Structure 1
Amino acid sequence: MTWLAAGDFVPPGVDDFFLPPIFGGVTKPMVLLVLSVVIIAAFFLVAASKLKIVPNRFQFAAESVYDFSRNSIAREQIGAKEFRPYVPLILAMFTFVLVNNLFGVIPILQFPTFAHIGFPIALSVFVVYPVYHLSGIRKHGIGKYLKYQLMPSGIPKPIYILLTPIEIFTKFFMNPITLAIRVFAAMFAGHLILLVFTLGGEYLLTEASGPLKPVSVLAWAFAIAMTFLEAFIQVIQAYIFALLTAGYIGAALAEDH
């Protein structure tokens, strides 16, 4: 990270998230993104290669992840009648975001991919956004779909003058942006906090003198505690991303709003 010649501590900032290319124009976050796909595919392929009636631990773990994505997220948010075609998408969203988030606390890797805003924006705008709008249009037709989305029933007609523009802005602009920002902000802030405590502890140990030197141990203790908290938040953020994705699809398919 950055240090002044005089030995003053310069806390980590945004620049520390822009890592130099490994080769060509390929950066570490790009490699981690591809690695996550390989890990997820290998995990489910290996688990499904030798299925048993009484599952071993590996098969049980894979089945638990699938069951959680299918029943606790997709079925609950989309509905029992229409959730099945969307289970693969919800499973993919949950596991993909989860693995990329957890990279932030894995030694050596130690970088949450979604701390770069471009990745969650791409996932939200180019995958989630078209899926839930096209699903609603396919079911209702574009006219009825726009009516359901922009003119909720049971509201006095004059209110639509104010409400409809808000609904347009929310459903067609803010939903994909806020979906991406939630996970990005959590990953960026969490990783930055870990950097502050870790590098601050190193600085106090190597550069400070007198009574400040033992404080480095306290800083590292906080870094360890924050690592466990960050891992918990990473799991929660993956769940929220998949949950909101399913929720948007369920709202698009609903007959009334």
Structure 2
Amino acid sequence: MNPALRIPAEFVAPSTEDMHLPPLFEVGSFAFGKQTLLILLSVVLIAGFFMFVIRRRAMVPSKGQFLGEMGYGFVRNHLGRDIIGEKDFRPFVPLLFTFFFFLLVNNLFGSIPVLQLPTFSHPGSAYILAAIAYVVWVAVGIRRHGLGQFMVKMTMPPNVPKILYVILIPLEFLSNLIIRPVTHALRVFATMFAGHMAIMVAAALTAFLATEVGGVLGVGGSVFGIVLGLFIYFLEVLIQVLQAYIFTLLFAVYVQGALQEGH
């Protein structure tokens, strides 16, 4: 057959099975896979880095100590003090710090060659983290105001005609206590999943155009695919950082709302 008349194979886009590999091993119903391995690795990396850079606590910090202190100061001051407030922020700094750097490292795994998996592209990881945030801010609100007053804050907005509470109470309850933690998790999961899938599709399409189509169309298309893939890659890095910030920021906002005086 004339090579010019060769019909290329059909392009098959990557699927979720290509992103989420089979487990490395299983013990009963427990499966240990790449995602779990990366989560454990992130804990080691974060703890190891900060323990290493603060080991001397020099008055004139080294570059590593300066970087660690800058990261801690960013979370403490901008996500803790500025959002929760000077009076109440200190007890929440460790959790804010953990949320931000745990999310940041696990998200960035998706942009590191060989690793290439944002662990929060699995919904379970995102929901567990959001559940921790949910339990903390609800517990904080109940401890500060009592269960009854906290429920009033969550379901009865001020300066509203009382007749409207018949409609607003169930809507506010659903919005603040049910939908809020779900969307808190979905923001991370959806963006990590969609971004990584987009990179995989761009890479697969580039390879398909270069190897199966060939000719001017194949070469031109593969060059375009490389450019598009690089654009998506750097956009994804930006989103990975932003999602770590947004998740932690929202938690701080929720805590601040739970702590503020009732209306």
Between 217-226 and 188-197, the greater mean CA deviation after superposition: 217-226
1:42 aligns with 2:83: no
Question: How much does 1:26 deviate?
Answer: 1.1
Letter in 2 for 1:200: L
Q: Deviations along 1:21-60, whole A, 9 cap, x unmatched?
A: 1222211111111111111111111111111112111111
Identity of matched residues, %: 44
- In the alignment, does 2:144 pair up with 1:128? no
Give the drift of 1:256: 2.9
Cα separation, 2, equivalents of 1:38 and 1:104: 17
Aligned to 2:76: 70
What amino acid is the match of 2:89?
F
Aligned to 1:166: 171
Asked if residue 199 in structure 1 is aligned to residue 204 in structure 2, the reply is yes
1:7-30 CA-partner distances (Å, limit 9, x unpaired)? 321011333233111222211111
Return the offset for 1:76.
1.9
Task: Please tell me whether residue 18 in structure 1 is matched to residue 20 in structure 2.
Answer: yes
Q: How many Å separate the matches in 1 of 2:22 and 2:211?
A: 26
Q: Give the counterpart letter for 2:127 in structure 1.
A: I
Q: Distance in 1 between matches of 2:176 and 2:248?
A: 17
Q: CA RMSD in A?
A: 1.3
Partner of 1:112: 118
Give the match for residue 244 of structure 1.
Answer: 250
Which has the greater radius of gyration?
A: 2
Give the corresponding residue for 2:61: 55
Matched-pair contact (CA < 8 Å) for 1:22–1:28:
yes
Residue 169 of structure 1 deviates from its aligned partner by: 0.4
Q: Is the 8 A contact 1:148 1:255 kept in 2?
A: no
Indicate if the aligned counterparts of 1:152 and 1:256 stay in contact, CA closer than 8 A.
no
Task: Say whether the 8 Å CA contact 1:153–1:256 is kept in structure 2.
Answer: no
2:154 equivalent in structure 1: 149
Quote the residue 1:233 is aligned against.
239
**Structure 1 counterpart SS, 2:54:** helix
Greater mean deviation of Cα atoms: 213-222 or 128-137: 213-222
Q: Return the letter of the residue paired with 2:12.
A: V
Q: What is residue 178 of structure 1 aligned with on the other side?
A: 183
Following TM superposition, where does structure 1 have runs of at least 4 consecutive aligned residues deviating by more than 6 angstroms?
none
Q: Which stretch of structure 1 is more off in the superposition, 142-151 or 98-107?
A: 142-151
Segments of structure 2 that go 5 or more residues without pairing to the other structure are: 1-7
- 1:152 shift after superposition: 2.4
The alignment covers a number of residue pairs equal to 251
Q: Provide the rounded CA distance (Å) in 1 between the counterparts of 2:65 and 2:228.
A: 36
Task: Report the Cα offset of residue 213 of structure 1.
Answer: 2.3
* TM-score, normalised with respect to structure 2: 0.92
Q: Which residue of 1 aligns with 2:213?
A: 208
State how far apart, in whole Å, the 2-side matches of 1:156 and 1:217 are: 62
Instruction: Indicate which of 98, 103, 109 corresponds to 2:109.
Output: 103
Deviations 1:152-193 (A, max 9, x none): 222221111111111110121111100000011111111011
Query: TM-score with structure 1 length normalisation?
Result: 0.94
Contact 1:17 1:116 in 2 (8 A): no
Partners of 1:8 and 1:28 in 2: CA distance: 30
Equivalent position SS for 1:160:
helix
1:159, 1:66 → 2: CA distance? 45
